Chain A
């Protein structure tokens, strides 16, 4: 059984078709990166997968459980870090973790032990009792990541997870993602950072304007676009047909900046 199964998924907002007949699979034990320009439909896809948005048509499921019909069960299996971080500003991480662990009915001793390990690894101890509103962006992101990992989810869904982390924490988080996959867990993440996708992920799916334009391992993508040894960045721009636009934009900017 695949960890994620998305089939012919469609979602429009008025005139705009944000996700257009999308079909993809994330296999068990795999790290899958969803790439695409701003507004491509990555977040919309993930939200439907989490059961937070109803699709117009098509299906999304996690380990065979339909996201639309049984979102609570899906959320039981998944650790999710959304793109926007609206945390409870006036709670502390301690209070937030107490809340989340209680909702997930975790065992007190085990979770305390795990929490100590996380806090130590991410250098988070001194923020544990500070109100979330006072935390820096990166520390908020750490809070969300810890919250998503607390219950040892079988599947991690991360929407732009490493954008504000410092070097040390980003490295640790990437390692955590890797270890998670080595232990048989699966990961679906969306990212703009090509190095993350290149270094971390088993397979990549590129979507543009709601359509999956390419999918596969890096090597498969290279063959597909007939560019040997190309970096993911070059492939990405080619596949999303942005190469010329980038060249044009740069030359305009060069003029503007040289005055």
Chain B
């Protein structure tokens, strides 16, 4: 088979892999693909285009910022230190970008079995391996090529050919190590998320891994703003602690490459020990990169030929049934479903999203007064209410998988609604705690402001019941239904709207009281009273809207 032919086939396979990864990222997509496959393919095409553009954009951004800071920002430090540290910071961040932006795709790659497609074709083993390798390359080609071209070209222009050569080696090594790590972590993640022993530890690992990934992605997207600060911090470290720090850093990945580049450009400014350390480090990490490249090839081959075994071999566990109360068993089931794929685990990251969004807003609102007023706290909580509505409808998504099981079970719609509400209250309470933290660092006008989110916490129950009740009423005529927000965006909007609408009631109570009396104590009391009344009302009346 000619290489051009392989390349074309690899394109088809990598398309299939992307498709499978997209499905894997969210279980409800499975239901959706049956509804309208053409629409899904379009969505995937545009999604992958967006992700390529995003990756490209982020890589350009960090390359430009780090190069500009190294070359021109005299405030940060001496030129040699700037080049060394800027270089290393770029490499670190490009590692993070390559790693996190591709983690979902890669773990989808392992679970989909799409990489096994070539082995079903009438090809020799070598051809199959070549095809697999090319498919993998095609999946990552965008970010990898960009990373290999951008930074070295920038170095060539700013610092000359010698630094450019070092940067090319450095970028290639970083990419190779990143992809090696990526394959390993994706394999591990896939195994963990699909492993089914019941130990607490393994579900903790699942949740932690999911949240870790979300945080990683968020930090990738907010990189640009803190890069110069990071460089300044590292350079100041050597000023404070002493120049020996650089020699030690020169042994550490990816600083070795940075100091190597700095030695190439400003050899006379740098102590000999540091230069020697950077040469040793560079050689060492280049060898590691080559080894990682080789072993990535091997482990890819293993994946394509054998798949990853997620079921434990050997010891069969005793057959037994573990009974808990109906409500607890539904919650337990939903949490298991939630932590078994990255898409669903996003729900637990909602408080983090909220804070990232609100932090700059609160700082802005604080601006003119120098302290935070209760109006700002109320507005922030209202955002959390809206997020609460969205998290409830996302929880309804879990059940799109198990329709056949539910059809035969004596579960009342009321019980379903209560379960989903119980789950939704957890991120809601975390949102409130997180808001308190943000309010605290933004110098609130009175410490009593911190009590507003606390009083609001139990109101998660009302929001959950109201949003769920509305969705069941609209989509199921009162029966419990599973909703797929990705395809049924109308329900996403309805949920956000109902969450915001119902959620604002106690806040309005607080706001009006403070306008008329000016007393925070009275306002808190009003808010608390409304919360109580609404809880009782939704406990009593919302189940009446439902039907079995």
Q: Which residues of A contact B (CB under 8 A)?
A: 50-52, 70-73, 75-76, 78-82, 84-92, 94-108, 111-112, 115-116, 119, 125-126, 128-131, 134, 144, 147-148
From B150-158, B208-216, B321-329, B359-367, give the one contacting chain A: B321-329
B408 and A98 contact, CB distance less than 8 A: no
B319 and A126 contact, CB distance less than 8 A: no
Q: Which residues of A contact B322 (CB under 8 A)?
A: 98, 102, 108
Q: Which residues of A contact B486 (CB under 8 A)?
A: none
A51 nearest CB neighbor, chain B only: B548
Q: Which residues of A contact B197 (CB under 8 A)?
A: 129
Q: Which residues of A contact B310 (CB under 8 A)?
A: 131, 134
B121 in contact (CB, < 8 A):
no
Q: Which residues of B contact A128 (CB under 8 A)?
A: 316-317, 319
A126 and B316 contact, CB distance less than 8 A: yes
A69 nearest CB neighbor, chain B only: B548
Which of A84, A98, A106 has its CB near the most chain B CB atoms (within 10 A)? Answer: A98
Q: A90-B336, A92-B196 are in contact. Are A125 and B316 (CB under 8 A)?
A: yes
Q: Which residues of A contact B319 (CB under 8 A)?
A: 94, 112, 115-116, 119, 125, 128
How far does the alpha carbon of A106 sit from the alpha carbon of B409 in the complex, in Å? 13
Write the nearest CB–CB distance from B81 to chain A, whole angstroms: 50
Report, nearest first, the 4 A-B pairs whose CB atoms are least far apart: A102-B329, A80-B408, A75-B410, A88-B402
Q: Which residues of A contact B325 (CB under 8 A)?
A: 102
Number of A-B contacts (CB under 8 A): 135
B341 in contact (CB, < 8 A):
yes
Q: Which residues of B contact A99 (CB under 8 A)?
A: 329-330, 332-333, 405
Which of B312, B319, B402, B412 has its CB near the most chain A CB atoms (within 10 A)? Answer: B319
12 contacts between A and B (CB under 8 A): A50-B408, A72-B412, A80-B407, A84-B404, A86-B403, A88-B401, A88-B402, A90-B341, A97-B321, A98-B323, A101-B323, A125-B316
B320 nearest CB neighbor, chain A only: A112
Q: How many residues of B contact A (CB 8 A)?
A: 39
B316 and A88 contact, CB distance less than 8 A: no
Q: Which residues of B contact A126 (CB under 8 A)?
A: 316
B194 in contact (CB, < 8 A):
yes
Write the nearest CB–CB distance from A165 to chain B, whole angstroms: 16
Q: Which residues of A contact B317 (CB under 8 A)?
A: 94, 128-129
Q: A72-B411, A87-B401, A147-B405 are in contact. Are A98 and B321 (CB under 8 A)?
A: yes
Write the nearest CB–CB distance from A65 to chain B, whole angstroms: 12
Write the nearest CB–CB distance from B299 to chain A, whole angstroms: 21
Q: Which residues of A contact B194 (CB under 8 A)?
A: 90, 131
B340 in contact (CB, < 8 A):
yes
Q: Which residues of A contact B411 (CB under 8 A)?
A: 72, 103
- Cβ proximity bits B287-322 to A, threshold 8 Å, 1 near / 0 not: 000000000000000000000001110001101111
Which of B196, B321, B325 has its CB near the most chain A CB atoms (within 10 A)? Answer: B321
Q: A103-B326, A108-B321 are in contact. Are A131 and B408 (CB under 8 A)?
A: no
Q: A99-B330, A102-B328, A131-B196 are in contact. Are A90 and B408 (CB under 8 A)?
A: no
B321 and A101 contact, CB distance less than 8 A: yes
B44 in contact (CB, < 8 A):
no
Q: Which residues of A contact B332 (CB under 8 A)?
A: 98-99
Among A91, A112, A147, which residue has its beta carbon within 8 angstroms of that of B408?
Answer: A147
B410 and A73 contact, CB distance less than 8 A: yes
Q: Which residues of A contact B336 (CB under 8 A)?
A: 90-91, 95
The DSSP consensus for interface residues of chain B is: loop
Which of B27, B194, B320, B330 has its CB near the most chain A CB atoms (within 10 A)? Answer: B320
Q: A82-B407, A91-B333 are in contact. Are A102 and B402 (CB under 8 A)?
A: no
B337 in contact (CB, < 8 A):
yes
Q: Which residues of B contact A52 (CB under 8 A)?
A: 407
Q: Which residues of B contact A148 (CB under 8 A)?
A: 408
Which of B340, B401, B402, B405 has its CB near the most chain A CB atoms (within 10 A)? Answer: B405
A106 and B323 contact, CB distance less than 8 A: yes
New A-B pairs, 12, CB < 8 Å, besides A78-B408, A102-B323, A131-B196: A84-B403, A85-B404, A88-B401, A89-B30, A90-B336, A94-B196, A97-B321, A98-B321, A98-B324, A99-B330, A99-B333, A119-B319
Write the nearest CB–CB distance from A96 to chain B, whole angstroms: 7
Write the nearest CB–CB distance from B23 to chain A, whole angstroms: 11
A50 and B328 contact, CB distance less than 8 A: no
B30 nearest CB neighbor, chain A only: A89
Among B312, B340, B403, which residue has its beta carbon within 8 angstroms of that of A90?
Answer: B340
Write the nearest CB–CB distance from A110 to chain B, whole angstroms: 9
B405 and A87 contact, CB distance less than 8 A: yes
Among B340, B409, B548, which residue has its beta carbon within 8 angstroms of that of A103?
Answer: B409
A128 nearest CB neighbor, chain B only: B319
A108 and B408 contact, CB distance less than 8 A: no
How far does the alpha carbon of A107 sit from the alpha carbon of B407 in the complex, in Å? 22
B402 nearest CB neighbor, chain A only: A88
Write the nearest CB–CB distance from A64 to chain B, whole angstroms: 17
Which of A90, A111, A119, A131 has its CB near the most chain B CB atoms (within 10 A)? Answer: A90
Q: Which residues of A contact B329 (CB under 8 A)?
A: 98-99, 102-103
Q: Which residues of B contact A104 (CB under 8 A)?
A: 409-410
A100 and B337 contact, CB distance less than 8 A: no
Q: Which residues of B contact A79 (CB under 8 A)?
A: 408
How far does the alpha carbon of A60 sit from the alpha carbon of B74 in the complex, in Å? 84
Q: Which residues of A contact B321 (CB under 8 A)?
A: 97-98, 101, 106, 108, 111-112, 115
How far does the alpha carbon of A92 sit from the alpha carbon of B196 in the complex, in Å? 7
How far does the alpha carbon of A225 sit from the alpha carbon of B297 in the complex, in Å? 70
A88 and B333 contact, CB distance less than 8 A: yes
How far does the alpha carbon of A122 sit from the alpha carbon of B303 in the complex, in Å? 32
A98 nearest CB neighbor, chain B only: B322
How far does the alpha carbon of A78 sit from the alpha carbon of B407 in the complex, in Å? 11
B548 and A71 contact, CB distance less than 8 A: yes
A88 and B405 contact, CB distance less than 8 A: yes
How far does the alpha carbon of A87 sit from the alpha carbon of B333 in the complex, in Å? 12
How far does the alpha carbon of A71 sit from the alpha carbon of B60 in the complex, in Å? 60
Q: Which residues of A contact B407 (CB under 8 A)?
A: 50, 52, 80, 82
Q: Which residues of B contact A76 (CB under 8 A)?
A: 410
Chain B 384-427 residues near chain A, CB threshold 8 A: 401-405, 407-412
Write the nearest CB–CB distance from A213 to chain B, whole angstroms: 28
Q: A75-B409, A80-B407, A100-B409 are in contact. Are A89 and B333 (CB under 8 A)?
A: no
B197 nearest CB neighbor, chain A only: A129
Q: Which residues of B contact A100 (CB under 8 A)?
A: 405, 409
Q: Which residues of A contact B323 (CB under 8 A)?
A: 98, 101-102, 105-108, 111
Q: Which residues of A contact B405 (CB under 8 A)?
A: 86-88, 96, 99-100, 147
Q: Which residues of B contact A51 (CB under 8 A)?
A: 548
Q: A89-B27, A116-B319, A125-B319 are in contact. Are A75 and B408 (CB under 8 A)?
A: yes
Q: Which residues of A contact B337 (CB under 8 A)?
A: 88, 90-91
